[in-house]
Amino acid sequence: MPSTPGTGTPGTGKSLMSRMLAEKTGLQWLDVSELAIKNGCLDDYDEVYQCSILDEDKLLDGMEDLMCQGGKIVDYHGAEFFPERWFDIVFVLRTDNTILYDRLKERGYFGKKLEDNIDCEIFQTILEEARSSYREEIVHELVSNTLDQVTENVNKICQWLEQWKMDNQDT
């Protein structure tokens, strides 16, 4: 089975889409933030952004065996540090800045953390990182402003999975 990351700026709906996709397909949803906590992959604390700093190497080492099995949905705000061989397709969720601003404010984001995440979306930082880290033909941008769009995105991904299964029957 293929594996895919759901990536995008915080607040774009990655976790909701990943959960819905896992329920619909049976693929295993890997919430990278939870894995990092569970496996002790967090280092120092960043006072400016009010979050722990991820030890990427330790996380990748811990995920290697899981990812080699295939059939994973990897939920994280960035994907550029994951090995390209782990993914068959990459989905980057995008959200209108005014909607994203409200979502992040509701989560308690403020100051530099709020501003930088909005800037990240404005400048398509996550999308550009994905495009520079993976083959361009496997990176797909999905609009995620409403629940209907999230549902449409899940359906599109399910169609892609069905096509992937047909194309890879003999491998």
**Binding-site annotation, residues for ATP:** 11, 13-15, 107
162 phi/psi in degrees, rounded to 5: -60, -45
Asked if residue 114 lies in contact with residue 104, where contact means CB atoms within 8 angstroms, the answer is yes
- 68 CB neighbour count, 10 Å cutoff: 11
The span from the CA of 171 to the CA of 169, in Å, is 6
| Binding site as annotated, residues | 11, 13-15, 107
Residues 134, 88 contacting (CB under 8 angstroms): no
How far apart CA 18 and CA 28 sit, in angstroms, is: 9
Burial of 56 (0-12, 13-18, 19+ CB in 10 A): middle
Q: Which residue has the tokens 């990427």?
A: 56
- For residue 83, what are its two tokens? 């090995």
CA distance 92 to 144: 10
